[in-house]
Structure 1
Amino acid sequence: NTEGRCKYLSGFGNEFSSEDPRCPGSLPEGQNNPQVCPYGLYAEQLSGSAFTCPRPTNKRSWLYRILPSVRHKPYTAMHCGNLTEKWDEVEPDPNQLRWMPFTIPKSSEKKVDFVTGLHTLCGAGDTKSRNGIGIHMFTCNTSMVDRCFNNSDGDFLIVPQQGEILITTEFGKMMVEPNEICVIQQGMRFSVNVFGETRGYVLEVYGAHFELPDLGPIGANGLANPRDFLTPVAWYEDREVATGYTVINKYQGKLFSSQQVFSPFNVVAWHGNYTPYKYNLDNFMVINCVAFDHADPSIFTVLTAKSSRPGVAMADFVIFPPRWGVADHTFRPPYYHRNCMSEFMGLIKGHYEAKEEGFQPGGGTLHSMMTPHGPDRDCFEKSSTALLKPERVADGTMAFMFESSFSMAVTKWGLETCQRLDKSYYQCWEPLRKHFDPNWRPSKQ
């Protein structure tokens, strides 16, 4: 498992356990916190929920480590770069927004790792009250060396778009490739290795954890299957760092750093239901319309972070994978609509059916709540006259959506600094022409 490519435990929402094969029997038997742990390890609990949460929502794991995480120097404030929670930097913008692919810095010009390459694009809410989300891009070209990241504010759902990332966590390693996602939950320390120019998207949620959506009338099977979510096998390193190991902590929207003299990835064994995990989007079981009309995109939800209002998500992660389109008497692409949710879309690969040209891999769009959007003119004209027969949709493509009940604020970086904003986006709808005919009558069959 040293390369993070194999030997994962599978499952989702269940109790897992793992121990590094170099130390057989390192998991205590019969109790979580014995007076003396095997191999002289320290027992440490990582809690992702209140102690008194109902059993189905209680999240915690026990880690058995060489030294406890409490042994570090005091945290001090550090430069946050373009990572922010300042939602009032610029005036609100209700327009349809589109960004061209975000620029990846050249390693020959500047070394940028995952943390320094995080850029907040938009978000809402507040980390202090534990209610909100942030959407970030990461563009980097170098691995984190003797540095790890810890998010005290919430969960990271990471969507690589270009380049593999090898994520080392306290629980073990995960290799995550484009067309896969991973979730690093609140409080878990991790480091990211890259193998060249790398880019991707991050959805951060404060105050909730991601879970599988309820299936309702769909029944027992469909969408993302629990057995396809993978958690890492325990792996440890017993390594002292004389020059200091930096632990970076995101806390109340700011970054802080602390020094310690040993690697934080010193967990020999662990068990629990609060773990990092990954998922291959190719495993998604698509549910779709087989008669007429275009079903709502909620049928493509992979993970959801629920709000306190039943049926309303703080954030949904939705994908638009390859599938068959068979609906009769139907305009098959996404319909024109306005929505009480905010929709950020990204493209991992391919060409999105509703906007085949302007929407590019590594870029994004934001359609804020009640801002109208839908297919461009070319898509509308083509699909309105198409011969309706069974056809493959989105072959070679993977688009996704971060959908939220929050009204999103775009950062100054997103609107001004990054210089990737496509100010001509609105023009893709300008050629739409009137087809209204007051003399139209239904044809006789």
Structure 2
Amino acid sequence: MSAAAQARRLQPAGELDIVVLEQGPKISYSACGIPYWIGGQVSDPDRLLARTPADFAEQDIAVRTGTRAEGIDLAVGEVVAAGGERIGYDSLVVATGGRPFRPPVPGLDADGVHGVHRLADGADIRAAIAAGAERAVVLGGGYIGLEMAEVLQARGLEVTVVLADPLPMAQLDADMGQRVCAAMCGMGIDVQSDQPVREIEVGPEGAVRAVRTDAAAYDADLVVLGLGMGPETTLAREAGLQLGSTGAIDVAHTQRSRSHPEVLAAGDCAQTFHRITGEAIHVALGTHANKQGRVAGSVIGGRPARFAGVLGTAMTKVGDLEVARTGLCTTQAEEGGYDFRTEVIESSTRAGYYPGAAPIAVKIITEAGSGLLLGAQVVGGPGSGKRIDVFATAIWAGLTAEELAGSDLSYAPPFSPTYDPVVVAARVASRIEQG
């Protein structure tokens, strides 16, 4: 929808017809808000809707909900809709999004097993809770896994998080992931790590009753999948669009398909590149999707535009603990061939004497020799997470730790110590580099 809106801004209705096909009943909704609707922090699912088909109709953008695209005929420039209808195009945007990972284990299609991908998923989980679900197992410890563990516990369920990885938040380094795990256990969430799921046990009525690993079976009447997202490329692959090394649609920086330039792709179905390493990467985040859609719409509308890459900046929370990261973690830095250093500092979110001050840990990754900022991770109490944006901005601009340490960040006791943890981490890194 960001592509459609941007194209319309640049081209009036008389010069460009825009048609959107959406297989579901809703458009322009915040999938990231679904856990908080399940948890009750958002009272009405309509509050997750940014715009409706009627809103787009006022811009002469025809949105056809409940209309599934069944195929793309690249040779003649047509989309084949359900029922055999063929819709011609001069430019086509493929924005089919992501597909939740589903491990090939028995019982995964049982009643009571839910993803957290669409509004209908949220409605199903809310209905299960209302029907008396008491024990929930969350598979996966990424952003969605943490958020769902928190909201389900807040709704009164006993929650077990089962991980194939050693720690939750595999996007972090192990020392920072351990802090997240400790906080979850401190909340009363049962975290079971290094246990790939082998089976979803199903009762006689066809409903889930347990999750089995090699180590144990965990009782459940509700199972939530938080295993991450891959690109949804079925339409693209069957049509013959070129896919990249990540399995997503291979696009140039203009979001044009490298094999068929009249087709553009944006969002979770499209391959992108890392801002630091330049390597192909697939990152399923709404921030990138909207920006890529805007680039695609600009290109269609006749305005030159290029997507500038990603750092993978993201954040979440579980209980009062805020978790954020940007740039390269140490594994990515090693794979990228960097000679790097890491430093971890501990501080407080506010002046220590001010009410509400909470611990915060900051990890910073820099290139040895140059001091160039490569990545950062933040784990701490309320007020911690958004500090990652300072690091993201500094990395985007190509700053060194020394330059960041000398930057003019704000201070007031309700918001930070005299030296903000961001500055402290950068200063420690730059001092060690100078030494």
TM-score range, shorter chain: under 0.3
Higher strand share: 1
Higher helix share: 2
TM-score, length basis structure 1? 0.23
TM-score, length basis structure 2? 0.23
